[in-house]
């Protein structure tokens, strides 16, 4: 390679190049904001900088405090970027001590952003509410978060004048915090009734689809997914009543023009039946044969009016759902992380894991290993204790010094051996 080209390629400093990479991967953060995602999770905190664990924890907590101050700023941009920064930090790292010590402040910031924010800010605040709950160690602490945020989240979720994207996030946040907190049955049923009102608006009438704008469809899908998450916590007798009232609506949603809503309806139906069958395996509902015929039609749908991608996604999903009804086969997936394996063998667990993975993203494996609340929800038990003491981390400078010394000793030994070999052959 010509020297000029090599010099040009390596001309920028390591930190400068890292800054470019971070900007390439950050498509939601304003470059003019003083508090952004990098302020909490930049190279000095989540990267491979040579600092010990205690210093790293102190720096991380300091950055979290700065971002939390930014979430209470007067500027909408600063508040939104700070919320996104906190979401990124809490999704990548499990830091229950930091979150528990600042729980009230975090909840206060989330509530204020939910009340006075616009669509992007409200969505980020709802995501942060979920991540704050996931950082806590026990359901009792999550219930405190639920008590502080329930009214605001429910009000926004039911507000028809609020942006659809913000309402969708509030529906999911309300359901997840309620699920993790193990709230009273009355609260559970109230939340389910609220969500039924939201996704029930998408139900086709008189055999024809509603003339619903394209924008609210993700809202209906999110509300239905949130409702499905709560189904597993409903008692058998209460769920029988819910099934009688909601299965006709869910079956009607299978004719929705939106593929995501159709799949969400199918997963909600199979989740209801799965929960009921866990107590009474003879339950059949009003017309199980007609339902299976509809599921089979969707599993083999080849209508040209749908895109190729939608047809493939729909057939794949409904084949799995149909196998549960016809062959009594349930999901059988495995997620490997570290030395452990998570077995996903029920629709309820699959639904929960899919949602957690969508929220935690790249930090999913880290939370599966360490997060007590996540592990308890997925049936993994207490985190594994690593045996033996770990060796202290060696800095890059020390590693290079050791490598140079080892190379020097090896070359000296080779030189002595070569001298002896020469003398022998002479």
What's the Cα-to-Cα distance from 86 to each of 98, 174, 178, rounded to whole Å?
12, 19, 21
Whether residue 152 lies inside any domain: the answer is no
Within this chain, do residues 280 and 353 fall inside the same structural domain, yes or no? no
Within this chain, do residues 342 and 306 fall inside the same structural domain, yes or no? no
Determine the pLDDT at residue 397. 72
How far, in Å, CA of 367 to CA of 355, rounded? Answer: 13
Within this chain, do residues 309 and 350 fall inside the same structural domain, yes or no? no
How far, in Å, CA of 386 to CA of 91, rounded? Answer: 23
Asked if 111 and 148 count as a contact pair (C-beta separation under 8 A), the reply is yes
Number of Cβ atoms within 10 Å of the Cβ of 15: 10
How far, in Å, CA of 256 to CA of 203, rounded? Answer: 8
What's the Cα-to-Cα distance from 151 to each of 84, 97, 174, 194, 241, rounded to whole Å?
23, 26, 9, 12, 26
How far, in Å, CA of 244 to CA of 82, rounded? Answer: 45
Determine the pLDDT at residue 276. 94
Within this chain, do residues 245 and 323 fall inside the same structural domain, yes or no? yes
**CA Rg, the chain, in Å?**
27
Determine the pLDDT at residue 295. 95
Whether residue 4 lies inside any domain: the answer is no
How far, in Å, CA of 267 to CA of 284, rounded? Answer: 17
Helix (H, G, I), strand (E, B) or coil at 282: coil
Asked if 363 and 93 count as a contact pair (C-beta separation under 8 A), the reply is yes
Determine the pLDDT at residue 40. 55
Burial (CB count within 10 angstroms: exposed 0-12, middle 13-18, buried 19+), residue 383: middle
Within this chain, do residues 358 and 251 fall inside the same structural domain, yes or no? no
How far, in Å, CA of 196 to CA of 192, rounded? Answer: 6
> Helix, strand, coil proportions of the chain in percent (round to 5)?
70, 5, 25
223: containing domain: 214-329
DSSP state of 51: -
Within this chain, do residues 268 and 349 fall inside the same structural domain, yes or no? no
How far, in Å, CA of 297 to CA of 122, rounded? Answer: 39
Whether residue 277 lies inside any domain: the answer is yes
How far, in Å, CA of 374 to CA of 201, rounded? Answer: 32
Within this chain, do residues 341 and 281 fall inside the same structural domain, yes or no? no
Whether residue 363 lies inside any domain: the answer is yes
Within this chain, do residues 226 and 302 fall inside the same structural domain, yes or no? yes
CB pairs under 8 A, 24+ apart, for 361-368?
361/91, 362/91, 362/92, 363/91, 363/92, 363/93, 363/94, 364/337, 365/337, 365/338, 366/92, 366/93, 366/94, 367/94, 367/134, 368/335, 368/337, 368/340, 368/342
Tell me the DSSP string of 186-232. HHHHHHHHHHHHHHHTT--BTTB-----STTHHHHHHHHHHHHHHHT
Q: How far is CA 61 from its chain centroid?
A: 22
Whether residue 351 lies inside any domain: the answer is yes
Within this chain, do residues 227 and 317 fall inside the same structural domain, yes or no? yes
Within this chain, do residues 360 and 335 fall inside the same structural domain, yes or no? yes
Determine the pLDDT at residue 205. 63
Within this chain, do residues 277 and 343 fall inside the same structural domain, yes or no? no
Whether residue 145 lies inside any domain: the answer is no
CA atoms within 13 A on the CB side of 406: 6
Whether residue 15 lies inside any domain: the answer is no
Place of tokens 């830091």: 95
Structure-block tokens of residue 232: 């597993």
Within this chain, do residues 321 and 233 fall inside the same structural domain, yes or no? yes
Taking only the tens of pLDDT, the chain with its 426 residues reads 444 433 334 444 443 433 443 444 444 444 334 444 444 555 444 544 444 667 888 899 999 999 999 999 999 999 999 999 999 999 999 999 999 999 999 999 999 999 998 999 999 999 999 999 999 999 999 999 999 999 999 999 999 999 999 999 999 999 999 999 877 899 999 999 999 999 998 887 654 444 445 557 899 999 999 999 999 999 999 999 999 999 999 999 999 989 999 999 999 999 999 999 999 988 988 889 999 999 999 999 888 778 888 899 999 999 999 999 999 999 999 999 988 999 999 999 999 999 999 999 999 999 999 999 999 999 998 888 765 444 456 666 776 777 777 777 767 766 655 554 444 444
For 304-324, give the secondary structure using H, E and C: CCCCHHHHHHHHHHHHHHHHH
Segment holding 91, helix H or strand E: helix 76-92
Whether residue 80 lies inside any domain: the answer is no
Q: How many domains does the chain have?
A: 2
Distance between first and last Cα of the chain: 44
Asked if 29 and 83 count as a contact pair (C-beta separation under 8 A), the reply is no
């Amino acid at each position: 390679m010509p020297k000029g080209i090599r010099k040009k390629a390596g001309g920028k400093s390591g930190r400068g190049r890292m800054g470019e990479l971070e900007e390439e991967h950050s498509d939601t953060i304003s470059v003019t904001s003083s508090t952004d995602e990098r302020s909490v999770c930049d190279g000095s905190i989540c990267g491979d900088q040579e600092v010990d664990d205690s210093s790293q924890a102190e720096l991380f907590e300091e950055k979290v405090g700065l971002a939390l101050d930014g979430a209470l700023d007067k500027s909408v941009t600063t508040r939104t970027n700070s919320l996104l920064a906190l979401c990124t930090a809490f999704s990548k790292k499990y830091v229950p001590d930091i979150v528990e010590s600042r729980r009230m402040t975090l909840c206060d910031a989330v509530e204020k952003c939910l009340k006075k924010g616009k669509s992007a800010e409200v969505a980020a605040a709802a995501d942060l509410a979920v991540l704050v709950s996931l950082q806590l160690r026990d359901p009792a602490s999550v219930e405190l978060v639920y008590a502080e945020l329930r009214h605001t989240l429910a009000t926004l979720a039911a507000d028809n004048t609020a942006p659809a994207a913000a309402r969708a996030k509030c529906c999911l946040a309300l359901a997840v915090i309620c699920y993790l907190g193990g709230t009273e049955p009355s609260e559970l049923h109230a939340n389910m009734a609220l969500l039924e009102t939201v996704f029930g608006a998408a139900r086709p009438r008189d055999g024809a689809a509603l003339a619903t704008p394209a924008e609210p469809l993700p809202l209906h899908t999110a509300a239905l997914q949130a409702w499905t998450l709560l189904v597993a916590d409903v008692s058998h007798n209460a769920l029988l009543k819910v099934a009688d009232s909601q299965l006709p609506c869910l079956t009607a949603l299978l004719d929705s023009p939106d593929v995501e809503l159709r799949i969400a309806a199918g997963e909600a139906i199979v989740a209801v039946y799965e929960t009921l069958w866990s107590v009474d395996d003879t339950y059949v509902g009003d017309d199980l044969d007609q339902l299976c015929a509809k599921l089979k039609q969707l599993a083999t749908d080849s209508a040209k009016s749908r895109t190729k991608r939608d047809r493939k996604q729909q057939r794949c999903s409904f084949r799995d759902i149909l196998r549960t009804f016809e062959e009594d086969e349930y999901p059988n997936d495995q997620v490997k992380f570290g030395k452990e394996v998570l077995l996903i063998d029920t629709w309820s667990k699959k639904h929960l894991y899919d949602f957690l993975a969508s929220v935690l993203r790249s930090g999913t494996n880290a939370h599966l290993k360490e997060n007590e609340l996540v592990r308890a929800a997925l049936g993994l038990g207490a985190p594994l204790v690593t045996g033996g003491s770990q060796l202290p981390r060696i800095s890059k400078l020390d590693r290079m010094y050791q490598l140079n010394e080892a190379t020097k000793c090896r070359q000296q030994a080779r030189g002595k051996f070569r001298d002896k070999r020469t003398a022998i052959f002479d």
